[in-house]
Amino acid sequence: MDSTPASRRRRIPQTLRVKNTQRKLIDAALQLLHEEGFKGATLQAIAHRAQVSLGALQHHFKTRDALMERLVQEVMAPLSAQGSAWPDHSLPLPERAQDFVQRAWQNIFGTPHYQAAWSLFLGCKSSPTLFTHINQQRLLVDNAFYVQFLHIFPEIERHHPAAQGVAATVFAALRGAGVLEFFDVTATERETCLQTLADTIVQAGTPAAAP
């Protein structure tokens, strides 16, 4: 018979407890940003939503700025080189473009978390230090996106005279579509926008017809 006390058998490892608590805090902060905006996402409100003490929150994130910077990293993680936004680069160009646009939309730009991030981006203008740090992260994310996008779509670099501009335009279009979700958008409008974006990627990677 196992004589180990049940409490010891069920004990959660410290690293897992830390990870679970941080996950709760991040999710609570994103929910509040989406529902209440930047001003409503106070440390006290986040701790209450996550059902942890304010002291526990500050143990994991010493300041509100530190937590907000982590949120940006969290929201944009699918755009990293190993992130979930990127399709299999061996797919034919039309399928690859469709898959990328759908993945990018479903994992980042069409999610409530992305709308929450916009509340953060716009609200943190009143905090110059936080805004500077988030803007630095934005530059890193943008540059990483351009590199990975052209890696996944090498045809664009081969056939388009402004490949970097294509990458920037695609990223801007996805961000704009995400912001539009703050308003009433019909499914037809959304799908038309995403389909046009996929078509644009295909066109940019297709050799121009000879005159």
Q: What is 1-62's CATH topology?
A: Arc Repressor Mutant, subunit A (1.10.10)
CB atoms within 10 A of CB 154: 13
| Measured distance CA(127)–CA(145) in Å, rounded | 26
Tokens coding 9: 């058998």
Note every long-range contact of 154-162, with CB atoms under 8 Å and residues 24 or more positions apart, other chains counting: 155/93, 155/204, 155/205, 155/206, 156/201, 156/204, 156/205, 158/205, 159/204, 159/205, 159/206, 159/207, 159/208, 160/204, 160/205
Confidence at residue 100, expressed as pLDDT on a 0 to 100 scale: 98
Exposed/middle/buried for 179, CB within 10 Å: 0-12, 13-18, 19+? middle
10-residue averages of pLDDT along the chain (211 residues): 53 81 94 92 95 94 93 88 91 98 95 91 89 90 93 96 96 95 94 97 85 43
What are the domain boundaries of the chain? 1-62, 73-211
Report the pLDDT value the prediction gives residue 11, as an integer from 0 to 100: 67
**pTM listed for this prediction:** 0.84
- What 3-state class would DSSP assign to 87? coil
Q: What is the DSSP string of 143-171?
A: HHHHHHHHHH-HHHHHH-TTHHHHHHHHH
Distance CA 105, CA 177 (A): 9
